[in-house]
């Protein structure tokens, strides 16, 4: 904990936050003499011991951040984790007096059509489903700049964590967990949904052995592609949504035309992992793993775990058959054939201890990330200093190395970026662009760079040399390098990048380095180009943008910083 406010300011921040009822806070302050505590840090420790604050709340309050802990009827208590789309918070539902989980879309995805669509799909699917083996979603909401949804809190580990902690699961228990998951999938299938991302990390298990299926963010709904599903299609395409270690062959080819048997395949791979602690096909690259699922014979789990009954091994083999028609037709059939092998038994773990360890690990990773970003900011600042591009390099370096607080005066907890990681990443990118700019720096870059430098008027005209960039395919194939000043993409052999596909026009689009930036232009193609899920005729590209060509080829744009 790093205190940054005086004792009186800290206690006032606690009062203003609404976390603790005023009468209760006043009573504890009086009983423990906290208004005369040696420091705000000491007072924070006492309030944590009294269970009035969590460590997360105390850390933010010590920074002077007292606004933002109440998200409508939900009091934010702690961080549970950071996922691919955003932040998970442990919260208290003040209206219904229950613990819940609040998932918040990260700030960096606010303008990402694909991630926003996936976020909404996960919430929408969860609200439609009511089953004892599926995590329940209570609400999808938005307030201010926060997109969020609220789920039930389950004190459990996912199967991946469980194996990390205790090793492979004995087959009677493993079969029971997978059978419960099959029943959950059957309910989802009956509601017209295909999960498309069944894997060990998406199955929670409580200490009493109850399994809960989570994360319907890739769920395929029964309607003919609705708006959110359409956004996913535009951004990610019709190929290879899912997790490579458990993806069925047909889903790797076309993720938007699969049925419930795709989930049965992934569930079979998950059972294989639960029994052995190893994935069915262990290859170093995504591409080779997907090819193995499509071409190689199905592995026998008995080669890794010799006490697995032969009949159970055969069930897994059938669940993972390459052709959908060779698998079990429904998840209900899977549940029925697994029944004789199941035995419910408690799992030996203390969730409270694991939660504390998990939160400690989260904090460690966040600190490592912030330290990495600090080093990058220092390097970017020194580049600017060496090239004479700031009039006040000393102020710049002072601010970046922490001599001036970058959060001074801020009283709001940002749920979309609680530790400033996305904000700092934007500053790093801005400083890099300013350093390598080919003309006058963009207004937004100047603002971010001077903000990173603690203010000041030192950014001047920049001379930027042309920069190479890369298109990184989502399917793991070789990247395409973009060399200035212009790269032509199309179906014809004279193009710089040739895509032999009937949906790609002869001269489909061009990438051009102009005005210090890379631009993408559609050359009146039939099937168009998209940037971050939106069809464009011309767009300036930024590092990390998703670029889709003719709805078939999907890349991440990576810009060189130098």
3-state secondary structure of 74: strand
515 assigned to some structural domain: yes
CATH of the domain at 474: 2.60.200.20
Alpha helices in 296-350 (DSSP H): 310-319, 331-338
Sign of the C-alpha dihedral computed for residues 401, 404, 406 and 407 taken in this order: positive
- The model's confidence at residue 233, banded by pLDDT at 50, 70 and 90, is very low
Q: Cβ neighbours of residue 19 under 8 Å, at least 6 residues apart?
A: 52, 53, 57, 69, 75
Does 96 lie in the same domain as 26? no
pLDDT, tens only, 405-423: 444 456 677 777 777 766 6
Say if residue 127 is in the same domain as residue 267: no
What's the rounded Cα separation, in Å, for the pair 179 and 194?
Answer: 17
Domain boundary among 351, 374, 403: 351
- Identify whether residues 182 and 137 lie together within a single domain: no
Domain boundary among 313, 333, 351: 351
Both 101 and 200 in one domain: the answer is no
- C-alpha–C-alpha distance, residues 94 and 73, integer Å: 6
476 closest CA partner among 240, 137, 138: 240
- Domain CATH code at residue 82: 3.30.200.20
334 lies in the same domain as 309: yes
Domain co-membership, 269 together with 189: yes
pLDDT score of 464 more than 70: no
In tens, the pLDDT along 102-112 reads 999 888 787 77
Please indicate, yes or no, whether residues 262 and 120 belong to a single structural domain of this protein: no
97 and 37 fall within a common domain: no
Lowest pLDDT segment from 99-103, 359-363, 444-448, 469-473: 444-448
Total count of domains within the chain: 4
Residue 480 lies in a domain: yes
Which range of 239-243, 246-250, 326-330 scores highest in mean pLDDT? It is 326-330
Q: How confident is the model at residue 402 (pLDDT cuts 50, 70, 90)?
A: very low
Mean of all residue pLDDT scores within the chain: 80
Each residue's pLDDT tens digit, 148-200: 999 999 988 889 888 888 889 999 999 999 999 999 999 999 998 888 889 99
Looking at 245-249, 380-384, 387-391, 397-401, which range is the least confident one? 397-401
pLDDT digits (tens, 9 = 90+) for 505-534: 989 999 988 777 889 999 989 889 998 878
| Domain range enclosing 498 | 469-559
In a domain, 138, yes or no: yes
* For range 63-78, the mean pLDDT: 89
Structural domain includes residue 287: yes
Does residue 206 sit within a domain? yes
Confidence bin at 122 (pLDDT 50/70/90): confident
Burial of 431 (0-12, 13-18, 19+ CB in 10 A): buried
CATH of the domain at 336: 1.10.510.10
Question: What residues contact 164, with CB distance under 8 A and at least 6 apart?
Answer: none
Q: pTM for the whole thing?
A: 0.68
Residues 126 and 187 both lie in one domain: no
Alpha-carbon dihedral 75, 76, 78, 82, rounded to 10 degrees: 150
């Amino acid at each position: 904990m790093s205190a940054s406010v005086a004792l009186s300011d800290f206690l006032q921040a606690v009062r203003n936050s609404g976390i603790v009822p005023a009468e209760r806070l006043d009573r504890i302050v009086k009983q423990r003499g906290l208004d005369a505590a040696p420091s705000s840090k000491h007072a924070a420790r006492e309030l944590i011991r009294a269970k009035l604050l969590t460590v997360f709340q105390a850390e933010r309050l010590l920074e002077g951040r007292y606004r933002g802990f109440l998200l409508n009827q939900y009091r934010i208590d702690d961080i549970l984790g950071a996922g691919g789309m955003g932040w998970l918070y442990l919260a208290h539902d003040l209206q219904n007096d229950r613990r819940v989980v609040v998932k918040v879309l990260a700030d960096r995805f606010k303008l990402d059509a694909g991630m926003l669509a996936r976020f909404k799909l996960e919430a929408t699917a969860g609200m439609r489903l009511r089953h004892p083996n599926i995590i329940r979603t209570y609400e999808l909401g938005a307030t201010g700049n926060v997109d969020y949804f609220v789920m039930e809190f389950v004190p459990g580990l996912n199967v991946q964590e469980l194996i990390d902690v205790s090793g492979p699961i004995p087959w009677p228990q493993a079969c029971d967990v997978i059978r419960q998951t099959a029943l959950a999938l059957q309910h989802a299938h009956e509601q017209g949904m295909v999960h498309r991302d069944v894997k060990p990390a998406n199955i929670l298990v409580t200490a009493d052995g109850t399994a809960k299926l989570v994360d319907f963010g890739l769920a395929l709904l029964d309607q003919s592609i609705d708006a959110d599903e359409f956004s996913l299609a535009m951004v990610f395409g019709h190929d290879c949504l899912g997790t490579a270690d458990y993806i069925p062959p047909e889903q790797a080819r076309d993720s938007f035309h699969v049925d419930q048997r795709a989930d049965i395949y992934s569930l079979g791979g998950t059972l294989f992992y639960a029994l052995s602690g190893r994935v069915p096909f262990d290859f170093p690259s995504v591409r080779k793993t997907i090819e193995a699922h499509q071409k190689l014979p199905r592995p026998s789990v008995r080669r890794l775990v010799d006490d697995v009954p032969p009949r159970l091994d055969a069930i897994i083999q059938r669940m993972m058959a390459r052709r959908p028609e060779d698998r079990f037709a429904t998840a209900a059939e899977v549940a029925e054939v697994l029944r004789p092998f199941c035995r419910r038994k408690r799992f030996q773990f203390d969730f409270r201890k694991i939660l504390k360890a998990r939160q400690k690990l989260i904090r460690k990773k966040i600190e490592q990330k912030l330290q990495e970003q600090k080093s990058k900011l220092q390097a970017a600042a020194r580049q600017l200093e060496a090239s004479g591009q700031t009039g006040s390099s000393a102020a710049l370096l002072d601010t970046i190395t922490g001599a001036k607080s970058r959060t001074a005066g801020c009283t709001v907890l940002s749920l979309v970026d609680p530790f400033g990681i996305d904000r700092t990443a934007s500053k790093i990118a801005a400083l890099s662009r300013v350093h390598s700019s080919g003309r006058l720096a963009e207004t937004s870059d100047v603002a971010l760079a001077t903000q990173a430098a603690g203010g000041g008027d030192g950014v001047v005209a920049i001379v930027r040399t042309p920069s190479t960039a890369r298109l990184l395919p989502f399917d793991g194939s070789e990247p395409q390098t973009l060399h200035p000043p212009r790269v032509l993409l199309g179906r014809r052999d004279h193009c710089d990048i040739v895509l032999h596909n009937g949906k790609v026009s002869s001269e489909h689009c061009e990438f051009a380095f102009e005005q210090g930036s890379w631009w993408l232009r559609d050359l009146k193609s039939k099937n168009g180009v998209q940037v971050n899920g939106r069809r464009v005729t011309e767009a300036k590209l930024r590092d990390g943008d998703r670029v889709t060509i003719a709805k078939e080829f999907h890349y991440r744009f990576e810009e060189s910083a130098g």
